[in-house]
Amino acid sequence: MSRSYLDLSKDEVEHALALHKESFVIDSSLVPFTEGVGEDIWIDDVLKGGVTVGNATVCMGRSFSGALHELAHYHDWVEKKKDKALIVKKASDIEKAKKEGKHGIVFGPQDSCFLERSLHFLHIAHQWGIRIIQLTYNFRNEAGDGCMERNDAGLSNFGVSLVEEMNRLGILVDLSHTGDRSIMEAIETSKDPVSFTHVIPRSSTPREMGGYADWSSRHGDYGQFQKYSMARGITDEALKACTEKGGMVGVTPFFAKKKGSSTLTDDLIDQVDHTVDLVGADHVGFGSDLDYRNSVYRGAYIWKYPERIDVTYFTPMDKSWGYGWLGHMTNFTRGLVARGYSDKEVKGILGGNWVKLFKKIWGK
């Protein structure tokens, strides 16, 4: 049986906390909350968890004008919160964030439809700070097919041109919600390494899911969520093709929870172990897929209706990683130490591996 993060000795816990403190800690996919009461909740939470950088989901509409308004809002927000946050455009900005104790924000849309099929708009998006773009989000768009399409036709002509121009500009290609054929064609088309910012392998996706899937089955269709979790899982072939080209895999807790009494932390580390076995520790990182809007809304719901929800999953407890709050990221580091990863491997998985890739794509 794999060792739990709860079984560390006092000395091991102190060692894990020291590793966490000195490492670059990167979350390769999250959704910030920059309005009202939520703005301080999210930024203070990531700072509490020692998260150096987060790849922020932005620009998910189909209007480029709307995308520019959103980016302008973020620039204004960061200026207002400049004591806590900065915008990351190159790898040295990550080092700056770490040195200054701030959270670095990477702009990373999870869909390319905001570009309105225009490479000229891609250039403007790059000027405004976008450094990662996911080609598709679940369904078909102008670039290719998402993971939930009935038929995956692969990349469109525009999709091929988009990948090539992203390479030229230095924008990282993300394939997390993309269809199998479109994934393989994107990897083949790209001259640069590509990424999966928030996935787990399809081969290790729990067939009986706990956590959110189990809870949501009381409010919807468990079978549909299970179908979606399998579609979102990435084939071993694609994971290997990505990393053989120098790419990265951000392992997410979102689909990791198995049915039963195991902690989410330990189930997440099981997915890390499986992914490392497939592609090697140098190509693995962390991507929470955490939407802070849901964290804030869910927190209010729990406060109002505590009897209606499984609080052991949705709130930070002593024996939980606390999905919904990155202030508990040190438990992830404890989990890596418990599984016997070397200090070098722990630092790489926490964020060092992403930094190496960002340097290659964005420049130092």
Average pLDDT (28-56) is 93
CATH label of the domain that carries residue 43: 3.20.20.140
- Quickly list DSSP for 47-95: HHTT--EEEE----SS-HHHHHHHHHHHHHHHHHTTTTEEE-SSHHHHH
| Per-residue confidence (pLDDT) for residue 38, from 0 to 100 | 82
In a domain, 187, yes or no: no
Q: Look at 68-77, 102-111, 205-214 and tell me which has the smallest mean pLDDT.
A: 205-214
| Per-residue confidence (pLDDT) for residue 317, from 0 to 100 | 42
**Counting every residue, how long is the chain?**
364
> Bigger pLDDT: 246 or 33?
246
Tell which residue, 44, 57, 49, has the closest CA to residue 85.
Answer: 44
Residue 303's pLDDT band (boundaries 50, 70, 90)? confident
Q: Look at 98-112, 177-191, 302-316 and tell me which has the smallest mean pLDDT.
A: 302-316
Beta bridge partners of 87: 105
In a domain, 144, yes or no: no
- Return phi, psi of residue 77, to 5°: -65, -45
Burial class (CB in 10 A: 0-12, 13-18, 19+), 181: middle
| Per-residue confidence (pLDDT) for residue 316, from 0 to 100 | 44
Q: Look at 38-42, 81-85, 113-117, 148-152 and tell me which has the smallest mean pLDDT.
A: 38-42
Residue 210's pLDDT band (boundaries 50, 70, 90)? confident
Whether pLDDT at 55 is above 60: yes
| Per-residue confidence (pLDDT) for residue 45, from 0 to 100 | 93
CA distance 197 to 173: 10
Residue 306's pLDDT band (boundaries 50, 70, 90)? confident
In a domain, 159, yes or no: no
As for how many domains the chain has, the answer is: 1
| Per-residue confidence (pLDDT) for residue 87, from 0 to 100 | 98
CA distance 53 to 32: 12
| Per-residue confidence (pLDDT) for residue 319, from 0 to 100 | 46
Q: In this prediction, what percent of the chain has a pLDDT beyond 90?
A: 77
Q: Which residues span the domain enclosing 80?
A: 5-107+193-358
Average pLDDT (89-110) is 98
In a domain, 164, yes or no: no
In a domain, 42, yes or no: yes
Mean pLDDT (the chain, rounded): 91
Residue 166's pLDDT band (boundaries 50, 70, 90)? very high
In a domain, 257, yes or no: yes
pLDDT digits over 307-330, tens only?
A: 766 555 544 444 444 567 899 899
> Bigger pLDDT: 218 or 224?
224
Average pLDDT (255-284) is 93
In a domain, 57, yes or no: yes
> Bigger pLDDT: 39 or 52?
52
Whether pLDDT at 108 is above 80: yes
Whether pLDDT at 25 is above 50: yes
Burial class (CB in 10 A: 0-12, 13-18, 19+), 225: middle
In a domain, 87, yes or no: yes
| Per-residue confidence (pLDDT) for residue 219, from 0 to 100 | 57
- Return phi, psi of residue 311, to 5°: -70, -20
